[in-house]
Chains A and B, each alone.
Chain A
Amino acid sequence: MTQPARTPSGAATGDGEGVWRRSWFQALVVLAVLVAGYWVSRTAGHPSWAGGFPTGIGDSFMAWLDGIYAWIVQNRNDSPLFLYFFNYVSVGLGSAVVLINQALDALTWVGVTALGVLSAWRAAGWRVALLVLATFGVFALTGLWNASMTTLALIITSVFIALLFGLPLGILAGRSERFHRRLRPALDFMQIMPAFAYLLPFVLLFGIGNPAAAVITAVYALPPVVRITALALREVDRGAIEATTSLGSTPWQVLTKVQLPLAKRTILLGINQTIMLAVSMVVIASVIGAGGLGDAIFQALSKVNVGQAFQAGLAIVMLAIAMDRVTGAVGNGAHTPRVPERLRLPVLGGGLLAVLATVVIGRSFDLGGWPRNWAVDIAAPVNAVNDAIESAVGGATSAMGTWTLEWVLAPLSQVLTGSPWWLVVLVAAALGWIFGGVRVAVLSAGSFVLVGLLGVWDNAMDTLSQVLVASLLTLALGVVLGVLMSRNDVFATILRPVLDAMQTLPPFVYLIPAVALFGIGRVPALAAAVIFALPPVIRLVNDGIRGVPAGAVEAADSQGSTKWQMLTKVQLPLARGSLLLAVNQGIILVLSMVVMGALVGAGSLGFDVVFGLAQNQLGLGLASGLAIVGLGLFLDRLTQGRRASHA
């Protein structure tokens, strides 16, 4: 697939693999059929048999959901389902967040800092402890101490819930293949469903503010810990298990004495991923009143104060990086200070005493949160930089934006929305068959029909056009930058922290500058999606090329290959696995930005999700969210490559 064709089209090659059998050519033919179908439908004046998907079923589905919404609103405090279940969870979680927040407050800022730094040192060594100290420093100096503590309380609560359910599920899935197979689609679904789309149902069930925020964050952060725990248990050496079983151990003993200890490191990696997702979700959760750092970002953005939003974004980036390094270090255990066995208790006791002492000192000086007037303002310089960039390149970028809109986005959207719906379904099926075989073909057609049945066909096609363009752009840029990164170590060293920051910076922060540069509409959304999805693609391409065996490179080198030949004939083909994964990840991440894009005028499915949330229209919001999942299923399966080849 990655090899360019050297034969003129139509002519068969000598090695028996005719151009007709190459998947890229087949895909082109299928797309040509789609465009032809669009022209026919257009010249015929869009007759009803060649229009969009009928919306009847979708409309009644939405009305049904709206009915559920109305029922819940009226019966929340009467129905036993709520009185004895949902409200318990709601009140319990809401109270837990409040209690943790108050506890952090009672420790005072010196106490929290001492506790954080000392435990980071004990778990991960002094380098990480310094990073934690710096993080608390950023919280304090940006004047966001209290907001940070609120966010921390929410993260602690939701990570706790995620682990409470995720670890047992992961263990079950790790021990039973059947359970794992049943669980997988649910996990896939959770990862593709845009977070915004399930805000409203959870608000409805668990109550606005902290309770719903905790549940949503937990749900969002759950999949990695389940998947990775299951994987870790599976990878435990069969020999070790058999040895213990033959010694007469019970399954419980095998689990606790052999499997879990041996899988510990990998499981910690899963926990690390879960915490990272929780950090990114608490920002979104502020839309439903969760408060904290996400709230600080929204508050700044509502006044179009990019600098202030950046400040809060920086606090989140620091929080994410610190949590990542701490849990990462616990996982590989490399930098943990070696404290001799007999000194462990004294060290622990000493640490606790030190924390206690700082808390007492803090409280006796009446310190609580960090005093507001000790803050350092970086908002003004950031705003100045932002304005300078805007006035320097604003004209060029907006012209570029207009061009993209007129020549790429708008025509593609027209073809997709203007073609007969059944033709689009057939094209999806054909593409699925070409790239993935019969099963993928059925799934592709199925997901398009599902999107149609939800009653949001036109919007979904428009969204699909935006996702496709953003994905292509991401992949093109990602491959170029990834290749450069793999060939130049200096560039790689510079790029790495930038990628770290890009991945953890909440997208809200760069949405508004994107509007300033590209004007409102689909183009700034496109830009934001590319920025968001780019880092993993670059990383995967880089890793893939660097992972190509040195022998292969040397062999090609000795035959006198040019650098270009080396890249296209040896490195890229051999890194095919990583490249395919990069394509898949890139597309899924672009898809997850559909709703974010709607915040700057991308419209379509994303806007309906946001609108549904803001105007309490459960039907519209949820149907649009599910349609995004439908598109995601199609794109994900299409790009996962050929598992069962049809050829």
Chain B
Amino acid sequence: MPSSARKNGLLRLLAVGMTLLMVSSCAVRTDQMARDPGLVRIAVNGWVGYEASAEVLAYVLEEEMGYDTQLMRVDEQPSWQALDQGAIDVILENWGHEDLYELYGPEGNDTVVDGGSTGNEGVIGWYMPAYLAEENPELLDHEGLRENTDLFRTAETGDSGEFLAGAPGFVSQDQGMINAFDMDLEIVYAGTEAAQMTEVRSRYANEEPVLFYSNKPHWIHEQLDLVKVDFPDHYDGCDADLEYIDCDYPVYDLNKIFRSGFVEEDDHAYRFLDNWEWTNAQQNEVAGMIADEGMDPTEAAEVWVDENPDVWREWLPEGYEQRVR
């Protein structure tokens, strides 16, 4: 429906201009920025699973419900800030971040609202290629790994083994785990997930050893055969001291975070996103098309939406048709 939206382009320009005029006469809060009422602004954090969710939802919002969408690509922490400032409406896939919820949630600034589960489950952990684990099965356990860190030595880390960390914006407790389990490992910060994945892929191609931070769902697991290292399960409070963490990462129940104002408006768009819930397999289907087959994300969303109307029709709120012009 982008064409019908365009006809009203000039009208909208006027509406936006009017808001701007009204705003410029008094004290200004950041959430008063000129904004199209028919525009839903979705944060997109830098991994493909998230992108899959965002593209599918954006596609339904645009094509079925007559909204415009804006996908804003930012890191996790800044996207919370963006919610707080009113620059976006929703974070679709949040991994933990209890500290931020305290700061911006009802107990703090009261600018964000927990929107409940997305239905996806997130796992973070230490991974290595399957061929490596087949040759050295003891590596799969943290005790066996400790004895064999020299396998992962590289020119960059010298006498210690190398642990490739994820993107700087990601949730991480690797140094705490290295300390607690007494591993002779040095973290190499790739700086971007792209660089980390490039390195993992090229070592995999040469069948070299590599130990790295990764998460599931993630497209890399569709391309390469990777296995996770076993650590004692996460328990309450084991990650209190960031310098000493004697447990694995927790399993995350991924949830949505809404901007409070967006919830208060109680628009069809909000109700739709609130209803949305899907499985890891469904997300992986779309993410696989994007990352593995190199499909344009919007096209991937279109394919999935065309094939699964019975799934997403469930998410549509009552009376949404009235919005469609």
Contacts and interface: CB of A to CB of B under 8 A. Distances in A.
B139 to A, nearest CB: 21
Nearest to A93: B33
Interface string A586-602: 00000000000011111
A178 to B, nearest CB: 37
B28 A600 contact: no
Contact of A77 (B29, B88, B167, B193): B29
B68 to A, nearest CB: 11
B9 A73 contact: no
B191 A87 contact: no
A611 B23 contact: no
B77 A615 contact: yes
B30 A599 contact: no
Contact of B84 (A73, A106, A303, A601): A73
Interface in A500-522: 511-512, 515-516, 519-522
B202 A599 contact: no
A95 B192 contact: no
A87 B26 CA distance: 11
A607 B195 contact: no
27 contacts: A83-B29, A87-B32, A91-B33, A95-B16, A98-B36, A106-B10, A143-B296, A209-B72, A287-B74, A295-B73, A299-B51, A301-B192, A303-B290, A304-B198, A402-B155, A405-B155, A405-B156, A520-B198, A521-B154, A601-B188, A603-B188, A607-B189, A614-B77, A614-B167, A614-B168, A616-B77, A616-B78
B63 interface: no
Max count, chain B CB within 10 A of own CB: residue among A82, A401, A515: A515
A223 interface: no
A515 B198 contact: yes
B196 interface: yes
Given A209-B72, A405-B156, A289 B188 contact: no
A302 B78 contact: no
Interface of A: 73-74, 76-77, 80, 82-84, 87-88, 90-92, 94-95, 98-99, 102-103, 105-106, 143, 203, 207-209, 211, 286-289, 291, 295, 298-299, 301-305, 363, 366, 368, 372, 379-380, 390, 394, 401-402, 405-406, 410, 511-512, 515-516, 519-522, 524, 598-603, 606-607, 610-611, 613-616
B192 A600 contact: yes
A286 B156 CA distance: 30
A410 B156 CA distance: 8
Q: Which 8 A-B pairs have the closest CB atoms?
A: A614-B169, A95-B34, A521-B156, A83-B27, A520-B199, A599-B191, A87-B28, A289-B74
Contacts of A304: 194, 197-198, 201
B315 interface: no
Residue of A88, A304, A520 most packed against chain B (CB within 10 A): A520
A520 B73 contact: no
A521 B30 contact: no
Interface of B: 2-3, 6-7, 9-10, 12-13, 16-17, 20, 23-24, 27-36, 43, 46-48, 51, 70, 72-79, 81-82, 84-85, 87-88, 103, 108-109, 154-156, 158, 164, 167-169, 188-199, 201-202, 219, 290-291, 294, 296-298
Nearest to B203: A519
Contacts of A83: 27-29
Contact of A598 (B79, B164, B191, B296): B191
A606 B190 CA distance: 12
B74 A599 contact: no
A615 B166 CA distance: 13
A598 B156 CA distance: 14
B195 A601 contact: yes
A389 to B, nearest CB: 13
Given A90-B28, A600-B191, 7 more contacts: A208-B74, A208-B85, A304-B194, A363-B6, A520-B190, A524-B195, A603-B191
